[in-house]
Amino acid sequence: SAREENLKKEEEAGRLKFVCYSNDGIDEHMNIFARQLPNMPKEYIVRLLMDRSHKSVMVIRHSLVVGGITYRPYISTLYLSVMISSLKPRVLMLLVVLITPFPLPNHSQKFGEIAFCAITADEQVKGYGTRLMNHLKQHARDVDGLTHFLTYADNNAVGYFIKQGFTKEIKLEKDRWHGYIKDYDGGILMECKIDQKLPYT
């Protein structure tokens, strides 16, 4: 859209930045999330923003945070391979012998759970939310190796998520996500498949 093209130019001119933090710069977007997501307890927002397993992609203009998305990547294959690579060969062999008779749980989840998503009130519906989501998809695919996103969308945000390619139909195998993501009352579970080739930004 024209709005997105404008923001793209702003970005190229260096006036707009998209950054991904693991556990940092939480103050400003904490306030945006708290204001834009009134049903979400403040302590819960703080807890996830401090939590090392969550990451945030933020859009920053003139060094002010305009909005952000906080998500949790589920990448158990990676964890498993890091864990295995750090084992001594003997221990590894013993492990293989011990677990061979049992069916392995599904260790390739590769999806991200979007916990919060918000743009500050006076900058909404200017295309920031779309740019932000595109940066998130690119980062999640290229850095985290994810294939899907899941989120419990607030009723009034379903339209926004549909425009970002989310569907109410969940195609991701249930054993990859069920029991891992946080059930959220009043939200509608939605899924987005991340294209593995498309340039999102």
Do residues 33 and 108 lie in contact, with contact meaning Cβ atoms separated by under 8 Å? no
Q: What would the two tokens of residue 197 be?
A: 């080739």
Residue with tokens 């740019």: 131
Nearer to ligand SCA, 20 or 133 (CB): 133
Is 169 known to be catalytic? no
Selected binder of ligand SCA within 152, 165, 180, 189 (CB under 6 A): 152
User: Does residue 192 belong to the site contacting ligand SCA (CB under 6 A)?
Assistant: no
Spatial separation of the C-alpha atoms in residues 103 and 159, rounded to whole Å? 41
Q: What would the two tokens of residue 137 be?
A: 């998809």
User: Does residue 124 belong to the site contacting ligand SCA (CB under 6 A)?
Assistant: yes
Helix, strand, or coil (residue 63) = coil
Nearer to ligand SCA, 100 or 183 (CB): 183
Catalytic residue among 113, 123, 169, 191: 113
User: Does residue 64 belong to the site contacting ligand SCA (CB under 6 A)?
Assistant: no
Residue whose CB is nearest to ligand SCA in the complex, by number: 129
Q: What would the two tokens of residue 132 be?
A: 């932000």
Spatial separation of the C-alpha atoms in residues 198 and 36, rounded to whole Å? 30
What are the residues binding ligand SCA (CB under 6 A)? 1, 36-37, 114, 116-119, 124-130, 151-154, 156-157, 159-160, 163, 184, 187
